[in-house]
Amino acid sequence: MASLSAEAIVCAVRAHGEHGAILRALTREAGLVAGYVRGGRSRRLRPILMPGNRIALELRARTEEQLAGATAELLESRAPLLAEPLPAAAIDWVTSLTAATLPESQPYPALYAALSALLDAIGVAPAARQWAAALARYELLLLAELGFGLDLDQCVASGAAHDLAFVSPRSGGAVSIAAAAGYEARLFRLPPFLRGADPDPSLPDALDGLVITGHFLDRDLLDGRNHDLLVTRERLIARLKRAVA
């Protein structure tokens, strides 16, 4: 990719040199891309290069191997949300997760659409329960897109497609009530919304979904290696739990 013009969601910004910054952003057309923004740490550009912002991105590189030069114009700012602890923690987590796990320059249009919708929900929902479930669905989609999808359509033990109430932490497969008998404490509770059966889940149900996705994100994608990223998620989950209390 020697050049690109696209709308993008800012996912990560890292200082580079005295004044510049390396931007990583998610586009619909090219997936996660990176570029060097001259003056990216300036007072003018810092409000544009904030995680969660939607920008018009221009990338130009002389060769495929060279880090592209990037320019960005603000299309939609999430800055007001970053002043609120819970939305700020959610945006920090989901953009950091995206930047840390997606390979560069591979399109994931479903993830782009889901991330955009999730950020919109964080911005307009009057309560956390109305976007916490969307966050769990995004994490579930991310796992699936990267080859670690969970099988929640039938019981991993019996093949039954009804009374699915648990998830195996080993296989990532659903488990029916009958098959789980005597082993419930070793399994995750499966909230109905993860199977599309509840259009308006409660916050406790959303948290149950996030327990499931968090386990498989840590095991299969993060592998315990990115401690700071896991701390970011733990901080978010703690704040969501306080919202329940």
Query: What is the per-residue pLDDT for 129?
Result: 85
Whether the predicted pLDDT of 162 surpasses 90: yes
**Comparing 24-33, 78-87, 89-98, 123-132, which segment has the lowest mean pLDDT?**
123-132
Query: What is the per-residue pLDDT for 227?
Result: 80
Query: 36-93 pLDDT, tens per residue?
Result: 999 888 889 999 999 999 999 999 987 766 789 999 999 999 999 988 999 999 999 9
Query: What is the per-residue pLDDT for 39?
Result: 87
Query: What is the per-residue pLDDT for 234?
Result: 94
Query: What is the per-residue pLDDT for 224?
Result: 64
Query: What is the per-residue pLDDT for 32?
Result: 97
Mean pLDDT for the stretch of residues 91-107? 96
Whether the predicted pLDDT of 152 surpasses 80: yes
Whether the predicted pLDDT of 2 surpasses 80: no
Whether the predicted pLDDT of 211 surpasses 80: yes
Residue 16: phi and psi, rounded to 5, are -145, 120
Mean pLDDT for the stretch of residues 210-218? 96
Whether the predicted pLDDT of 110 surpasses 80: yes
For the chain, what percent of residues have pLDDT higher than 90? 81
Which CATH architecture group holds 3-78? Beta Barrel (2.40)
Mean pLDDT for the stretch of residues 210-215? 97
Query: What is the per-residue pLDDT for 1?
Result: 52
Annotated domain spans of the chain: 3-78, 125-244
The model carries a pTM of 0.94
Query: What is the per-residue pLDDT for 125?
Result: 82
Mean pLDDT for the stretch of residues 15-36? 93
Mean pLDDT for the stretch of residues 160-171? 96
Query: What is the per-residue pLDDT for 62?
Result: 78
